[in-house]
Chain A
Amino acid sequence: MHPKRKQRLTLVAFLFAGVALAVGLALFALNENINLFYPPDQIARGEAPVDQRIRAGGMVLEGSVQRDPGSLAVRFTLSDMAGHDVPVVYEGILPDLFGEGQGIVATGRLRANGTFEASEVLAKHDENYMPPELAELAGRKAPEGQRAGMATLDAGG
C-alpha cells in the first residue's frame, strides 16, 4: 500500500476507535438510565425510587390476576420467575396481549408499602412466533381476548 494511503487509513482507524471509545464510555456511564424499566429484583432490593414516576417490567405471575367485577380495576403480581414479586394495582384498559405468564412493562409509582400503582400497562412481546396449533402442543395459551379476536379475523377472512 502507498505510504500516504497507509497514513490516511491509520488516521481513519484512530478516528473510529476514538469515537467508539467515547460512545462506549458514555453508554457505560448511562447504563442504568438506558434501561427502560426496573426488573422485580431491583424493586425488591429497594433500588427503585419510591413515589416517583418509574417503569417496572416483568412477567405477570400465573393465577395472580384479580379483576374487580364492577370496574376496570385489576391487581396482579409482577414477577421475575426467580422469587422476586411486586404487587401491582391498575385501573384502566389493558393491552390485548396482557395475560398471565406474559411479559409487561408498567408505568407508575412505587408506594412505600411496596405496592406499584400503575397508570399505564404495556405488553412486552417475546421473540417467539408460532401458529396456534403449534402453540397448543407446546402448552402455550393465548389470552382469552386475543383468541376471540383471532376467531373473528379468521371468520372474516
Chain B
Amino acid sequence: MKVPAPLVRLWHRLGSPRWFFETTAPWLPWLLGLGVVLLGAGAFWGLALAPADYLQGNSFRIIYVHVPAAILAQSCYMLMGTCGVVLLVWRMKLADMVLEAAAPIGASFTALALITGAVWGKPTWGTWWAWDARVTSMLILLFLYLGIIGLRQALARPEAAGRACAILAIVGLVNIPIIKYSVDWWLTLHQPSTFKLTEKPAMPPSMWIPLLLSVLGFYALFVWSVLQSTRVVVLERERRTAWVQNFVTEQGSKP
C-alpha cells in the first residue's frame, strides 16, 4: 500500500514539537471562537427554544451537556490510545506529549458525563446511581484516566512513564466498545442509543439539531484545550532547546 506523499510529509513534520508549536498557534483563536459560538447556539436553542419532552418535561434538557460530554470522554480516550500506539511503534515525542496533555481533559469530560447522568437519573429513574453495565463501564473509563494520570506521576524517568502510560492507554481501549454496546449486550437501566447510524434518530429535528451543535461545539473546545495543553507540555519538555528559550525571551520582552 502506497501512502500519499503529503501525508508522509505531514507525518515527518509531526516528529518535530517545534513545528507543532508554531503551526498550531494561529488555529487557537479560531477554534475557541468556533467552540463558543457553536456551544452558545446549541445551549440557547436546546435550553430555551427546543420543546419539552412529553414524558420527562424539562429535565431531558440535560442531554445537551450529558451526551456531548460522554461522546468526548470516549473520543478523547481513543485519541490517547492512538497516541499510545504511535509512541510505542514510532517513538514519536509529540504522541507522548498529547497523551500527557489530553488525560486530565478526558477525565473532566468523563466526570461531567457521570455527574450530569446522576443529576438526570434522580428525577427520571428515581435514583442517582445504578450499577448497570453502561454506568459502571463509564466509571471504569474515569478510573482509566485517573490511572494514566497517576502512573505518569509515579514513575521518575519520563521515558519509562511515557511507555507505561501508552500501554495502559492501549489496554484501556478495550473498554470503549464495551461502553458503546453495553446497552445492547446486557439488560441495563440506561436506555439504548437514541442515535443509530442506520436508523432515523428517535427524536425530532427540533431536539437533535441543538444537540448536534452542542456536540460540535464540545469538539471544537476539546481540540482547542488539547492543543493549548500540549503546547504547555512542549514548552516544558523542550525548555533546554534554543528555540524555546528564544520564544520565552521574546514573550518576556513584549510590553
A interface, CB within 8 angstroms of B: 5, 8-9, 11-12, 15-16, 19-20, 23, 27, 31, 34-37, 39, 57, 94-97, 105, 120-136, 140, 142-143, 146, 149-150, 153-154, 157
How distant is the Cα of A126 from the Cα of B203 in the complex, in angstroms?
Answer: 11
How distant is the Cα of A107 from the Cα of B81 in the complex, in angstroms?
Answer: 38
B120 CB to nearest chain A CB (Å): 9
B interface, CB within 8 angstroms of A: 51-58, 60, 63, 85, 88-90, 123-127, 130-133, 167, 170-171, 173-174, 178, 186-189, 191-194, 202-204, 206-207
Most chain A CB within a 10 A radius of its CB, from B89, B170, B173: B89
Q: Which residues of A contact B193 (CB under 8 A)?
A: 127
Please tell me which one of the listed residues B126, B132, B167 contacts residue A15 in the complex, with CB atoms under 8 A apart: B167
How distant is the Cα of A11 from the Cα of B84 in the complex, in angstroms?
Answer: 13
- Please give me the residue from chain B that is nearest to A38 by CB atom: B187
Chain B residues touching A, majority SS: loop
Asked whether A125 lies within 8 Å of B56 as measured between CB atoms, the reply is yes
Q: Which residues of B contact A16 (CB under 8 A)?
A: 170-171, 173-174
A111 CB to nearest chain B CB (Å): 22
How distant is the Cα of A9 from the Cα of B125 in the complex, in angstroms?
Answer: 45
> Assuming the A-B contacts A124-B125, A124-B191, are A97 and B174 also in contact, with contact meaning beta carbons closer than 8 angstroms in the complex?
no
How distant is the Cα of A58 from the Cα of B60 in the complex, in angstroms?
Answer: 22
Q: Which residues of A contact B189 (CB under 8 A)?
A: 36-37, 105, 122, 124
How distant is the Cα of A69 from the Cα of B193 in the complex, in angstroms?
Answer: 39
B235 CB to nearest chain A CB (Å): 29
B95 CB to nearest chain A CB (Å): 13
Please tell me which one of the listed residues B60, B89, B126, B170 contacts residue A129 in the complex, with CB atoms under 8 A apart: B60
Asked whether A19 lies within 8 Å of B192 as measured between CB atoms, the reply is no
Asked whether B89 lies within 8 Å of A12 as measured between CB atoms, the reply is yes
Q: Which residues of A contact B186 (CB under 8 A)?
A: 31, 34-36
Asked whether B89 lies within 8 Å of A153 as measured between CB atoms, the reply is no
